[in-house]
Structure 1
Amino acid sequence: MDFDQITTLIAPPIDPIETSGSSWTEIEREIGAFLPADYKKFVSTYGTGSIGDFLWVFNPFSKNKNLNLNSFRYLQSSYQNLKADFPELYDRPPFPLHDSFFTWAQTDNGDSLIWIIKSEPPETWQVGIHSADQAEEELTSLTFTGFMVRLLEKQLASRILPKQFLQAGKNFLPSA
């Protein structure tokens, strides 16, 4: 699938918010991992905001601590705390180890979209969905672009994401 399918399905804002700040190189150095090029293109094209006023794609350049790297750090820390208390439910290794996860979006319900970290290039990482308590995980065979296209075309099935969101028309709402 091609990134242009995303921009055809959901119009980018004319004046996106917070599309730059630090460089992607600095962000990736701080994270400790490279990020998929199509995700970086999405952030550079759309900036900070939500899809359908429900799904918030994290933007490392955002000043909003709920949408930038602070959210990623918080969710990683929460997962590790839960793993310490309930290792049978939380079996992913700590980021950035192989088979760990990186959270790149969150819903208003607290469900998260993640990538499963592999040794392959980040453009091949599969997207997963974590429930709000991170105990339930759904894995897809889709990359970022594939997932976004399926979501926007209303062709995505999920036990975790609400059906009314999956079946609704979507737009991008810029918001800082």
Structure 2
Amino acid sequence: MMLTALNQQLPIPSAIHENGKEERWPLIDNKYAFPKDYIAFITQYGSGQVVDFITLFNPFSKNEYINFFQQKEQILEDFSSLINDDPNYYRFVLYPKCNGLLPIGVTDNGDTLFWVVLSENSELWTMAIIPSRGSEVEFIAENLTGFLEGVLSKRIRCQSFPEGFPSEKMIFSPEV
């Protein structure tokens, strides 16, 4: 399991905030279960930032800027506006359409991370990145934890990520 490999690179913090452990996991739009690897990640790490760069949205966060449901609506609305304004430049497909992009996080550089909703089975969802101020989508054939493990181990090199990322300092900084 990729989460075990990720745990070896990214130590679980001693203070965990908003991990949903005592909560019932909601469905996305009363239809989709969250992917199991994402549930396991949030349960172990909670809200926070991966290596001072990647922030994943969390359905249990009280912070509107990292709450999954609030950010999902805001980002989809923003990207829909871009597509409507210039459909020849912005050619990507957004959730809830088939193979649509569903936002799951952001980077400090303004890149947006997405799940690619390939089917109703969320275990089959892969990852994608739209760089800040870009129109090209970078698709990564990994689930969320496979993506994170791959990026941190440098097995996956994302085009929009900075040259020196990740640094040697592999920490998860809890959001408090």
Give matches, 1:13-32, under 5 Å: 13-20=13-20, 22-24=23-25, 26=26, 28-30=27-29, 32=31
Q: Which runs of 5+ in 1 are unaligned?
A: none
TM score, norm. by length of structure 1: 0.89
Q: Please report the RMSD computed on the Cα atoms of aligned residues, expressed in angstroms.
A: 1.9
Give yes or no for contact 2:151–2:158 (8 Å, CA) kept in 1.
no
Give yes or no for contact 2:32–2:121 (8 Å, CA) kept in 1.
no
Alpha-carbon offset, residue 31 of structure 1: 6.1
Matched, 1:48 2:47: yes
Give yes or no for contact 1:154–1:167 (8 Å, CA) kept in 2.
no
Against the structure 1 CA distance between its residues 29 and 71, is the aligned structure 2 distance closer, same or farther, given a 3 Å change threshold?
Answer: closer
Matched, 1:110 2:107: no
Alpha-carbon offset, residue 98 of structure 1: 0.7
1:146 counterpart letter in structure 2: G
Alpha-carbon offset, residue 29 of structure 1: 4.4
Query: For 1:17 and 1:155, how far apart are their aligned partners in 2?
Result: 29
1:41 counterpart letter in structure 2: A
2:143 counterpart letter in structure 1: T
Give matches, 1:67-78, under 5 Å: 67-68=66-67, 69-78=69-78
More helix by share: 1
TM score, norm. by length of structure 2: 0.89
Against the structure 1 CA distance between its residues 138 and 154, is the aligned structure 2 distance closer, same or farther, given a 3 Å change threshold?
Answer: same
